[in-house]
Amino acid sequence: AAPCDLYASGGTPCVAAHATTRALFDSFIGSLYQLKRGSDNATLNIAPLSAGGVANAAAQDSFCNGTTCLITIIYDQTGRGNHLTQAPPGGAAQGPEAKGLDSLAAGGGAPVTLNGRKAYGVFIPPGTGYRNDATNGIAVGDAAEGIYAVLDGTHYNDQCCFDYGNAETNAQDTGNGHMETIYFGTAGGSGAGSGPWVMADLENGLFSGQNRNSNPGDKTISSRFITAIVKGQPNNWAIKAGNAQSGTLTTMWSGPRPTDGYNPMKKEGAILLGVGGDNSNWAQGTFYEGAMTSGFPTDAVENAVQANIIGAGYATTSLVSGPAMSVGSIVSLRATTACCSNRYIAHSGSTISTQAVSSSDSIATRQSASWLVVSALSATAASTPGTYYLSNVRPVRYYIVPSTSGAGKYHLTPLKARDGRMKRVIQPTKSQAVRRAALRSQLALLLQGDSISDGPQTLGSTSEEPGGDQWVDEMPT
């Protein structure tokens, strides 16, 4: 059974269930999350491939092909409407987006496979967060609840606060005991070793045990995928964690509440992901799935949830998603965050920055934001298979190779010694100086992203320059 079926069978039903990777009920076939793409602001809901199944990542790949996508909504699977959307500004921090909203996560930021099927998690850099301040059925006051999440155990920092769980409804720090969330990272309190640790954000404190001191029972996390649990009931709460790919859960803390304002708790029932209760938004992490329950789940149910997560078969996959970058093609790199999606990585001389560039700007401006894809661009690249070269098809072939005198510098090399065929070719029709000058100008154009006369060059293709020179793009043999 899926996690929320297990929680229900234990009498502690899910009142919020969020996952971009899979259904958390065996019967769930509705929308898991919504994407918005950059090219036209169109939106698309992603559902499981089948009831209870893995998300339809192929639909995302198709929808986002050639553009960028943001995760705009993480839907609640319980039917209570506890969806997560872009977090608002709070008492501690404004987000980087318009009106102080936090950023949204990029759709392709956290690719994984579940039993071999591709899916995407929610990759949260600093400044990114989701929230729902008007929820239905989430614990308030001292009421009991359970929270679990599957996270990336290698993506964290020492800032406040990569949280998932119960928080204030006004994004302000309203005092001790007003939050009860999973926290993951190395901020605040600590456990054994150097971290990261699963802790609890109970407001004005990240707790690894009963107080803000170190709790040696809270072990450092070392697995790539982790199951994290925080649960609380009157004057009792627990932290548990385990490897989400194998093994059992470890109880990191189980015992009474902290004393200074945390007993009884004053939970408010908002839900947040990736930020602190007052929108402290300097933390980072990756969320794959999670749920919140009504009632204090039993260890037996949580063990069954852990077994189900293991059975889901989370595994890493290539970080490369979307269209492949092909050596020799010319690309521009655009920012995806909503504040800045008109900005591209550009250079002014040797200085790199992001600049607002559009198709109506001058060629020089557009060239400054265009980049040639090369591979193995290093001092040894000239002899590295896969390196991209331009060569003149005229008899004496000059190759453009990276210079050993400094990164970003090139020189022209006849490469006769490498290529016996060079010795048998006919006389050049133009002087060496003319050919060298032409090569230099073509290199300059390529480095600035000009598509020469017939678009990006591909290995083996030829093109005729206006001046009559013919060029072939090839690997030296």
| Residues at the site binding ligand AHR, with contacts judged by CB under 6 A | 92, 160-161, 173, 201, 203-206, 276-278, 280
As beta bridge partners, residue 55 has 48
Q: Which is nearer to ligand AHR, 24 or 93 (CB)?
A: 93
> Whats the size of the chain, residue-wise?
477
Residue 173 or 473: the one with the smaller Cβ distance to ligand AHR is 173
* One-character DSSP codes across 15-26: EEEEESSB-SST
Nearer to ligand AHR, 124 or 161 (CB): 161
- Burial status of residue 299 (CB atoms within 10 A of its CB: 0-12, 13-18, 19 or more): middle
Q: How far is the CB of 167 from ligand AHR (least distance, A)?
A: 7
Coil, helix or strand at residue 289: strand
Which element (helix H / strand E) includes 252? strand 250-255
Cα angle: 463, vertex 467, 469; to 5 degrees: 45
Q: Which residue in 5, 201, 268, 278 is the catalytic one?
A: 278
204/442 with CB nearer ligand AHR: 204
User: Rounded distance, CA 75 to CA 422, Å?
Assistant: 64
- Cα separation, 251 vs 215, in Å, equals 12
Amino acid of residue 344: Y
Shortest Cβ 141–ligand AHR spacing (Å): 18
Among this protein's residues, is 152 annotated catalytic?
Answer: no
Q: Residue 204 Cβ, how far from ligand AHR at the closest point, in Å?
A: 5
Tell me the residue type at 383. Answer: S
- For residue 402, the cross-strand partners are 410
Give the integer Cα–Cα distance in Å for 67 and 328: 20
**Beta-carbon count within 10 A of 308 CB:** 17
Catalytic site includes residue 203: yes
User: Identity (one letter) of the amino acid at 61?
Assistant: D
* Contact assessment for residue 381 and residue 411, using Cβ atoms and an 8 Å cutoff: no
Distance (Å, whole) CA 129 – CA 453? 45
Nearer to ligand AHR, 230 or 372 (CB): 230
- Residue pair 114/355 in contact by the 8 Å Cβ criterion: no
Q: Output the DSSP codes for 84-144.
A: EEEPPP-SS---SSGGGPPBPPBTTSEEEEETTEEEEEEEE-TTB-EEESS-SS---BT--
The least CB distance from residue 165 to ligand AHR, in Å, is 10
Choice between 212 and 440, CB closer to ligand AHR: 212
Alpha-carbon torsion angle 9, 13, 18, 21, nearest 10: 0
Q: Compute the least distance from the CB of residue 218 to ligand AHR, in Å.
A: 16
Strand residue runs (E) in 357-446:
371-372, 390-392, 399-402, 410-413
- Of 5, 102, 163, 203, the active-site residue reads 203
Between CA 217 and CA 123 the distance in angstroms is: 29
CA R_g for the chain: 28
By beta carbon distance, the residue nearest ligand AHR is: 276
367 to each of 400, 443, 444, how far by Cα in Å?
Answer: 20, 13, 10
Which positions are catalytic? 203, 278
